[in-house]
Amino acid sequence: YTSVQPSATAQASATAAAVAMVTGGADRIAYVQNSDVWIARVDGSDAQQLTSDGTMKSYLRWLPGGDGLSYISGKCLQTVDLQGTVASVTCFNNAVYFDSFEVSPDGTRVALSLDRQLYLLPFDLALLAKADSHPDLVAMADCEELAPYQRSAVLYSRWSKDGSLLAAVALGVLADGRRGDVVEVFAVDQCIANPRVQVQFPEPHFALSEYTRKPTLPGLAWDGAALFVLNGLTRNDHFGDLHIFNRESFTITTNADPVNSVCCYADPTFSPDGKYLLFAFQDITLGADSRTQLYYIPYGTLGTGATYQPLPLPTFTDPKEEPQAVLRPAKP
């Protein structure tokens, strides 16, 4: 018996191929298409369908460790592993709204919005499986002052990189008296009630054209530090112009639309290393003929006039479907 060792060239090629599949610190993308969960490599290759039930799904997220995903279906929190096995964690049947389930970057906490009430809880699916009501969530909490958060009604949240801050999309009262979505950034590293809001936007500081007409923020990305990318609502339930807010310099770039400088965008998401931006795009100039496409681009090239290519994924046939694309951090 003679063992045949791969050549150094072949080994180098295989290593290079493996490395090439990590972009922006991510090695996989997950998204919803035709109401089912799909995964692919970050270059759009090797697309695989994980679920086949065709039920409505929202708030798709990678679970800590990257071996599965969570999503909300109706009043239920469900998971699917990479072999396509679906499990129902729990259902809040008495709730009117179950909007979001956002796990902290270190995988220890979760920000859950039920009936527009924000609960900060330990991330424990086994414990959550025993909870199906507001009192159950209160009992789960390790900080009763933040379960629920009392200051505002909250739709969804984003964590800072170190998990010490939360950016919550809350229902606020605008300058003209209307109710509208505002982003509130506050500390959650101490167990105190009503932590001080460190910054709020767009109002009262900035005016966004489509936000003035319809004050809703369907999409928000945070690099976990200074930069926020958000989209308003112009068409098809989720899509609008892209805007950038820097909370350190306190500047906003409106209509920072990267694809041919035209609307419309949804689901902006920063890469794990903060250097790339993932988003869905529909070309509003094509009207009813526009199709949803996913892009994954270097963030630093925004505003340069660079030309970008969409990921080569199967065609999205429903223009009102939100792909909810999310990135899996590559394992070290």
**Spatial contact of 294 and 279, defined as CB atoms under 8 Å apart:** yes
pTM of the full structure = 0.91
Banded model confidence at residue 193, pLDDT cuts 50, 70, 90: very high
Min mean pLDDT across 34-38, 227-231, 316-320 is at 316-320
| Measured distance CA(53)–CA(59) in Å, rounded | 17
Task: Tell me the domain boundaries of the chain.
Answer: 206-311+324-332
DSSP label at residue 196 = P
- Count of C-beta atoms within a 10 Å radius of residue 203: 20
> pLDDT tens digits, residue range 10-37?
454 444 444 448 999 999 999 999 999 9
Q: Are 29 and 296 in contact (CB under 8 A)?
A: yes
Tens of pLDDT along 63-115? 999 999 999 999 999 999 999 999 999 999 999 999 999 999 999 999 999 99
Stretch 290-311: mean pLDDT: 95
CA distance 91 to 298: 39
pLDDT at 129: 98
| pLDDT at residue 297, rounded to an integer | 97
